[in-house]
Amino acid sequence: MERTISIRRLSLNIVGITSLCLGFLGIFLPLLPTTPFVLLASACFMRSSPRFHRWLHEHKTFGPILDNWHQHRAVTAKVKRRGAVYILLSFSFSIWFVPHFWLKIALVFMLVALLTWFIRLPVMEHLADKQENH
């Protein structure tokens, strides 16, 4: 039983680190989304490494994204705009290059479903960063 737990923790740590690396690359690469990878990393670390989980939530770049999601199940307007554009671009690229018509149709349905879900996410700005009381 102990061996199973350690293999599970190791697997979750590997997925978490990989997701965090992809999320970090997403800051610089336009077609790679940051937020979903950071959320996945947080979920993995929550189950496998309290130390990494705490570090991730205290990080100056990733922490606000995670706090916004965990507290409000929301994203910022900037994340929503960029995410919608990148979802459209990446799916369009895939639809253009996929050789089979049935795959193109499946991708269009996935695009519509994903965009519908993504656009309906609530928007919540970080009020702590704003000076609305001045």
Rounded CA separation 68/80 (Å): 13
Picking from 15, 109, 84, the residue whose alpha carbon sits closest to that of residue 75 is: 84
HSE of 115, CA atoms in CB hemisphere, 13 A: 17
- Residue 132 pLDDT class (50, 70, 90 cuts): very low
Is residue 54 domain-resident?
yes
13 and 64 assigned to the same domain? yes
Total domain count, the chain: 2
Is residue 131 domain-resident?
no
Report H helices in the chain.
2-28, 35-48, 50-58, 62-72, 77-97, 101-119
Q: 46, 73, 100 — which closes off a domain?
A: 73
57 and 81 assigned to the same domain? no
Is pTM beyond 0.75? Reply is no
Q: What confidence tens digit (pLDDT) does each residue in 93-104 have?
A: 889 999 999 999
State the residue range of the domain holding 89.
77-119
Residue percentage of the chain with pLDDT more than 70: 88
Is residue 124 domain-resident?
no
41 and 27 assigned to the same domain? yes
